[in-house]
Amino acid sequence: MYHLQIRSKRVSTAVTSIPMKAVSIVANVPTVTVARNGGDNMGLMMCDGKFVSRDEIALVQTPQATESWKPVPHMEVIDAVTDVVKAHNWQILDENFGLAREGQKMFGVMRINKSSSSEWSRCIGLRNSHDKSFAVGLSAGINVRVCSNLAFGGTTVIKRRHTSRIELTELVDIAMTELENEFLMLETVCENNSLAKECIVIRGEIDEGIKKHCVIEHGKYGKIYACETDGLGNYTMIDDANVPSLLSIPYIGYTDENDEIYNNTRSFLLSEDNPYYFVGKYAKGIGSRHTPDGYIWHMSLVMQGLTSTDNAEKKELIDMIVSTDADTGYLHEGFHKDNPNLYTREWFTWPNSLFAEFVEKWVDEGMQVE
């Protein structure tokens, strides 16, 4: 067994009973920080090390500088980010920090927002090292990826070499400017009342269209959602393994797991009445028109788990997922139901990231995988 620590806004949990393969996959991919107010996904993954406060980081000693290397104090990075965020009239809503390798590596995520708009927030990811393992780095966007396994990303990523000429304020200012430019249109939508009203009308029209043309009476399952329709009475009764999908309806927020039509649809999708549902020696799940016949997608298995309310089903899915990675330590696009060593896409970030979210959700719910 392996030791994995995951922190979210709700819980910080030490889990010692997750299988090595599950930890191997999750450790290769950080949790995705979803930046929306009121969400529960604000987090930082520490595959090693520990979560700490600003005060604890301030106690870390900075190594002696040399002629060719000028280490930057961890708190200097954090303070620079804090000062520039405030200078741009943003607020820090939440923050998480972590230290690894006895304080030699520092990682952090800040969720920030402007007081003029309370609907959406953004994230700043930061990292710094005192052992020359990586440069000072900042990432920014609605989503950022920060993990002690050195996975680091976002819409904007800026890194600088360890040198006495580092201008931290300039570095952070670039990231903040990119954030403001990227989301200027979103701010316009939030603050332009007429445009917001127009979006609400369009949303209502789409919802009306779904209810009118995409809800089909199935002889076996009752009312279910169709995957495709032309609005003229023709429709396709399948689902695709990508996201968004019919299976992912509660995940994307159209309705919740208790919706009767969704549950009827789910029963259809996870049956052999769905032409892209495959049952084999090693797995059962939804595949796609984009991969060979009999290939199940890891992404569909993860999404099945993320939308499940049955702990036994979630446990079965985690076991199924980690046993079909072909001993690569990564999830793939599709794999053959009878031979997981036959697969498409050796590296597919999407299902790996979703799997990290699935495991974190499992832990947050107080569950353990044996």
For residue range 221-250, list pLDDT tens digits in order: 999 999 998 888 898 999 988 889 999 998
What average pLDDT does this structure show over 41-48? 64
Residue 348 has a pLDDT of: 84
- Is the pLDDT at 144 greater than 70, yes or no? yes
Residue 366 has a pLDDT of: 64
Quick one: 57 and 140 in the same domain? yes
The number of residues in the chain equals: 370
Please state, in angstroms and rounded to a whole number, the distance separating the CA atoms of residues 366 and 370: 13
Decide: helix, strand or coil at residue 156.
strand
Decide: helix, strand or coil at residue 34.
strand
Quick one: 211 and 359 in the same domain? yes
* Nearest alpha carbon to residue 25 among 55, 51, 45: 45
* CATH number of 210's domain: 1.50.10.10
Quick one: 170 and 79 in the same domain? yes
Quick one: 51 and 162 in the same domain? yes
Quick one: 176 and 266 in the same domain? no
Quick one: 154 and 83 in the same domain? yes
Residue 204, Cα to own-chain centre: how many angstroms?
Answer: 28
Q: 103 — alpha (psi -120 to 50), left (phi > 0) or beta?
A: left
Decide: helix, strand or coil at residue 129.
strand
Cα angle at 243 between 239 and 245, to 5 degrees? 30
pLDDT class of 11 with cuts at 50, 70, 90: very low
- Distance in angstroms between the alpha carbons of the first and the last residue of the chain: 9
Both tokens of residue 177?
């400017």
Residue 280 has a pLDDT of: 95
Span of 169-173, 184-188, 221-225, 254-258 with lowest mean pLDDT: 184-188
Q: Which residue, of 183, 212, 228, is where some domain finishes?
A: 183
Per residue in 259-278, pLDDT tens?
899 999 999 999 999 999 99
* Nearest alpha carbon to residue 190 among 252, 249, 269, 121: 121
The total domain count for the chain is 2
State what percent of residues in the chain have pLDDT above 90.
36
Residue 12 has a pLDDT of: 37
Residue 201 has a pLDDT of: 79
Q: Which residue, of 183, 208, 236, is where some domain finishes?
A: 183
pTM passes above 0.85: no
Residue 16 maps to a domain: no
- Is the pLDDT at 185 greater than 50, yes or no? yes
Residue 14 maps to a domain: no
What average pLDDT does this structure show over 314-340? 93
Quick one: 159 and 232 in the same domain? no
User: How far is residue 34 from each of residues 9, 287, 308, 357, measured CA to CA in Å?
Assistant: 12, 27, 20, 11
Higher-confidence residue of 121 and 184: namely: 121
pLDDT class of 10 with cuts at 50, 70, 90: very low
What average pLDDT does this structure show over 118-134? 81
Within 8 A by CB and 6+ apart from 204, the residues are none
Residue type, 213: H
Residue 21 maps to a domain: no
Element (H, E) at 137: strand 136-146
- Structural domain for 132, as ranges: 31-183
Residue 298 has a pLDDT of: 95
